[in-house]
A and B are shown apart, each in its own frame.
Chain A
Amino acid sequence: MSDRSAIVPAPTTRRSVKDLKLGESATICCLEDPEMALKLLEMGCIPGTQVRLNSRAPLGCPITLVVGEQCDYTLSLRVSEAATILLK
Chain B
Amino acid sequence: MTSGEDITTNPAGVAGSVERLEAAAGRAGGLLTRIALVGNPNSGKSSLFNQLTGLNQKVGNFPGVTVDRKTGISQLTPQLRAEIIDLPGTYSLYPKSLDEKVITSLFYDHTSPQYPDFVVVTVDASNLRRNLLLFTQLADLGLPAILALNMMDTAEQHGIQVDIAALQQELGVPVVPLNARKGVGIAALKILMSQTLGAPTERFYEPEEDLVPMVRQIRYYFNLHNDYLALHYAHQYRHLAFLSPDERTYLEELTTQYDFKPTVRQAQETIARYARVNEILLNCVTVTRTEQNEPYSNRLDKVLTHRVWGYAIFFGVLFLMFQAVFAWASYPMELIDQGVAGINGLIQTNFDGPLISLLTEGVLAGLGGVLIFIPQIALLFAFIAVLEETGYMARVTFMMDRIMRRFGLNGKSIVPLISGVACAVPAIMSARTIENRKDRLITIFVTPLMSCSARIPVYTVLIGLVVPDEAVLGIFNLRGFALMGLYLLGFFAAIFSAWAMKLLMRTTERSYFIMEFPVYRWPRWKNVGITILEKVKTFVFQAGKVILAISIILWVLATYGPPGRLEQVETQARTTAATQRLTPDETEARVASERLENSYAGIFGHVLEPAIRPLGFDWKIGISLITSFAAREVFVGTMSTIYSVGQDANELTVQQKLAAEKDIYGQPFFTPARSFSLLVFYVFAMQCMSTLAATYRETKGWKWPMLQLVYMTGLAYVASWLVYSLMS
Chain A residue with minimal CB distance to B261? A34
Chain A residue with minimal CB distance to B158? A70
Contacts of A57 in B (CB 8 A): 305, 398-399, 401-402
Q: How distant is B472 from chain A, measured CB to nearest CB, in Å? A: 32
Q: Flag whether A78 is at the interface (Cβ < 8 A).
A: yes
Q: Flag whether A50 is at the interface (Cβ < 8 A).
A: no
B281-297: CB near A (< 8 Å → 1, else 0) gives 00000010100100101
Complex: how many Å from CA A46 to CA B401? 25
Q: Restricting to B376-413, which residues have a CB under 8 Å from any CB of A?
A: 394, 398-399, 401-403, 411
Given the known inter-chain contacts A35-B510, A43-B516, A76-B517, please indicate yes or no for A60 contacting B402, CB distance below 8 A. yes
Complex: how many Å from CA A44 to CA B160? 18
Chain B residue with minimal CB distance to A39? B514
Q: Is the CB of B399 within 8 A of A35?
A: no
Chain A residue with minimal CB distance to B307? A58
Q: Is the CB of B295 within 8 A of A71?
A: yes
Given the known inter-chain contacts A42-B91, A59-B402, please indicate yes or no for A75 contacting B517, CB distance below 8 A. yes
Contacts of B287 in A (CB 8 A): 70
Q: Restricting to B226-275, which residues have a CB under 8 Å from any CB of A?
A: 263-264, 266-267, 270-271, 274
Most buried by B among A34, A41, A55, A66: A41
Complex: how many Å from CA A35 to CA B517? 22
Q: Give the dominant DSSP class at B's interface.
A: helix
Contact-residue size bin, chain B (C-beta under 8 Å from the other chain): 35 or more
Contacts of A38 in B (CB 8 A): 94, 263, 266-267, 270
Q: Flag whether B328 is at the interface (Cβ < 8 A).
A: no
Complex: how many Å from CA A25 to CA B158? 20
Chain B residue with minimal CB distance to A64? B517
Q: Restricting to B513-558, which residues have a CB under 8 Å from any CB of A?
A: 513-517, 519
Q: Is the CB of B403 within 8 A of A73?
A: no
Given the known inter-chain contacts A46-B274, A62-B402, please indicate yes or no for A39 contacting B516, CB distance below 8 A. no
Contacting residue for A81 out of B130, B263, B513, B519, CB 8 A? B513
Q: Is the CB of A76 within 8 A of B515?
A: yes
Q: How distant is A75 from chain B, measured CB to nearest CB, in Å? A: 6
Contacts of A64 in B (CB 8 A): 301, 398, 517
Given the known inter-chain contacts A57-B305, A70-B287, A71-B292, please indicate yes or no for A43 contacting B91, CB distance below 8 A. yes
Q: Is the CB of B295 within 8 A of A42?
A: no
Q: Is the CB of B403 within 8 A of A43?
A: no
Given the known inter-chain contacts A34-B263, A61-B401, A71-B295, please indicate yes or no for A42 contacting B129, CB distance below 8 A. no
Q: Is the CB of A58 within 8 A of B514?
A: no
Q: Flag whether A87 is at the interface (Cβ < 8 A).
A: no
The number of A-B residue pairs with CB atoms under 8 Å apart is 112
Complex: how many Å from CA A34 to CA B262? 11
Q: Restricting to A67-83, which residues have a CB under 8 Å from any CB of B?
A: 68, 70-78, 81
Contacts of A81 in B (CB 8 A): 512-514
Contacting residue for B513 out of A37, A55, A58, A77, CB 8 A? A77
A29-51: CB near B (< 8 Å → 1, else 0) gives 00100111111111110110000
Contacts of A31 in B (CB 8 A): 267
Q: Is the CB of B127 within 8 A of A73?
A: yes
Contacts of B160 in A (CB 8 A): 70
Q: Is the CB of B267 within 8 A of A74?
A: no
Contacts of B513 in A (CB 8 A): 62, 76-78, 81
Chain A residue with minimal CB distance to B295? A71
Complex: how many Å from CA A47 to CA B270? 11
Complex: how many Å from CA A63 to CA B86? 31
Contacting residue for B516 out of A34, A46, A47, A74, CB 8 A? A74
Q: Is the CB of A58 within 8 A of B515?
A: no
Q: Is the CB of B263 within 8 A of A73?
A: no
Q: Flag whether B298 is at the interface (Cβ < 8 A).
A: yes
Complex: how many Å from CA A36 to CA B263? 10
Q: Is the CB of B514 within 8 A of A68?
A: no
Complex: how many Å from CA A40 to CA B401? 19
Complex: how many Å from CA A47 to CA B287? 22
Q: Is the CB of B399 within 8 A of A41?
A: no
Contacting residue for A78 out of B270, B298, B401, CB 8 A? B401
Chain A residue with minimal CB distance to B268? A41
Complex: how many Å from CA A36 to CA B306? 28
Contacting residue for B92 out of A42, A60, A75, CB 8 A? A42
B489-523: CB near A (< 8 Å → 1, else 0) gives 00000000000000000000010111111010000
Q: Can you list 23 A-B contacts (CB < 8 A)?
A: A36-B510, A37-B263, A38-B94, A41-B270, A44-B129, A44-B133, A44-B274, A54-B298, A54-B301, A55-B298, A55-B301, A61-B402, A66-B298, A68-B129, A70-B158, A70-B289, A71-B295, A73-B517, A74-B298, A74-B516, A75-B514, A76-B517, A81-B514
Taking A54-B298, A55-B298 as known contacts, 19 extra A-B pairs with beta carbons closer than 8 A to each other, sorted by chain A number, are: A36-B510, A41-B267, A41-B270, A43-B130, A54-B301, A57-B305, A57-B402, A59-B403, A61-B402, A62-B398, A70-B158, A70-B287, A72-B130, A75-B514, A76-B516, A76-B517, A77-B514, A77-B515, A81-B513
Interface residues in chain B, defined as those with a beta carbon under 8 Å from any beta carbon in chain A: 91-92, 94, 96, 126-127, 129-130, 133, 158, 160, 263-264, 266-267, 270-271, 274, 287, 289, 292, 295, 297-298, 301-302, 305-307, 310-311, 394, 398-399, 401-403, 411, 510, 512-517, 519
Q: Which 3 A-B pairs have the closest CB atoms?
A: A58-B307, A74-B517, A41-B270
